[in-house]
Amino acid sequence: MTGQGSRKGRPLGWFGRLACVAVVGALAVAAVAIYRADSAPVPKAEPDKWSPPQFAARQSERDAMVRTIRRYGLSDKAVLKAMAAVPRHEFVPAGRSRMAYADTPLPIGHGQTISQPYMVAEMTRLLKLTSKSKVLEIGTGSGYQAAVLTQFTKHVYSVEIIKPLADAAAARLKRLGYTPATVRHADGYHGWKEEAPFDAIIVTCATGRIPPPLIKQLKPGGRMVIPLGAPFAVQSLMLVEKGKDGKVRSRSLMAVQFVPLTRQKKSE
């Protein structure tokens, strides 16, 4: 004998073989169903026919998170629906997965954080997006906010200054099926000139003053939300509106705390 071992029993008859094929087939169908239900998006459509992927896993936790957001007084149905749809657990590091649906920011590495779900919801609401809006995000981080934005519009551009975060977010968004979100590794201070102007700009890192290029890249009639203030202090969430006449008005909405907008492009 070589290392094969001996097989006992008779060879299978045609009935046995048929039964085997049926069992293997059923197992394959079940495996695909479980895979689908657990993590995979529904099949991807062509880009212009794109519809948001759906995820069944941890839906009850997402629903509980949405109830928490409602308790803050946020009742915008489209925003709540978007928050109920995007699987936040796919955007947090594996070690933080258990906390994925708590209403709190979580570390995502490189000293950065994924924002608190309520803050994501409220900033999204303030943008008043439609399916035609072209939106720019500064601070991709995990890509979660970008995924939420794709629930409203297919025109989502997001800039991240830390290369490993930009690369990971781009790969994650693609894997999950959020293909309308385009991520770029760059200093978002400069906005995204080639794609400007934007109907909406969302800045998810805090800065002492509004970067002038962002004001320039906002369309007349456009809206920007941006945390203003010193790094690691309590900042003010500002809503900046550019009138049809080009006049810019801004007002402070609430106290917030975001990681700082940095200016050095980092590649590691």
Give the active site residues.
115
As given in the structure block, the two tokens for residue 59 are 């839906």
**At 121, which amino acid appears?**
A
- Contact positions with ligand SAH (CB under 6 A) in 103-162: 112-115, 138-139, 141-142, 144-145, 159-162
For residue 147, the minimal CB distance to ligand SAH (Å) is 8
Residues 235-254 that bind ligand SAH (CB under 6 A): none
Closer CB to ligand SAH, residue 93 or residue 221? 93
How is residue 19 written in tokens? 């039964």
The residue type found at 117 is: P
3-state class of 54 per DSSP?
Answer: coil
Nearest approach, Cβ of 172 to ligand SAH (angstroms)?
10
| Helix, strand, or coil (residue 210) | coil
Biggest CA pair distance of the chain:
89
* Cα separation, 53 vs 176, whole angstroms: 7
Pairing relationship of beta strands 106-109 and 198-203 according to DSSP bridges = unpaired
Q: Tell me if 122 sits within 8 A of 255, measured CB to CB.
A: no
| Shortest spacing between CB 260 and ligand SAH, in angstroms | 7
According to CB under 6 A, which residues from 75 to 104 bind ligand SAH?
A: none
Residue 259 binds ligand SAH (CB under 6 A): yes
Complex with ligand SAH: residue 222 or 227, whichever CB lies closer: 227
Return the number of the residue (109 or 246) whose C-beta is nearest ligand SAH. 109
Q: Which of 124, 150, 151, 204 binds ligand SAH (CB under 6 A)?
A: 204
For the CB of residue 135, give the shortest distance to ligand SAH in the complex, in Å. Answer: 12
Tokens at 21, concatenated? 């094929």
How many residues form the binding site for ligand SAH (CB under 6 A)? 24
In the block, which residue shows the tokens 């796919």?
90
Residue 53 or 188: the one with the smaller Cβ distance to ligand SAH is: 188
Using DSSP's 3-state secondary structure scheme, residue 158 falls into strand
Q: Which one, of 236, 181, 186, lies nearest residue 206 by Cα?
A: 236
Tell me the closest approach of the beta carbon of residue 247 to ligand SAH, in angstroms.
Answer: 26
Question: Given the complex with ligand SAH, which of 183 and 240 has the nearer CB atom?
Answer: 183
Q: How many residues does the chain have?
A: 268
Work out how close the CB of 82 gets to ligand SAH at its nearest, in angstroms, rounded to a whole number: 13
Tell me whether strands 134-138 and 155-160 are parallel, antiparallel or unpaired: parallel
Residue whose CB is less far from ligand SAH, 144 or 152: 144
d(CA 202, CA 39): 28
Chosen residue from 61, 76, 103, 187 binding ligand SAH by CB under 6 A: 187
Tell me how far apart the alpha carbons of residues 84 and 104 are, in angstroms, rounded to a whole number: 16
Q: Which residues bind ligand SAH (CB under 6 A)?
A: 112-115, 138-139, 141-142, 144-145, 159-162, 165, 187-189, 204-205, 259, 261-263
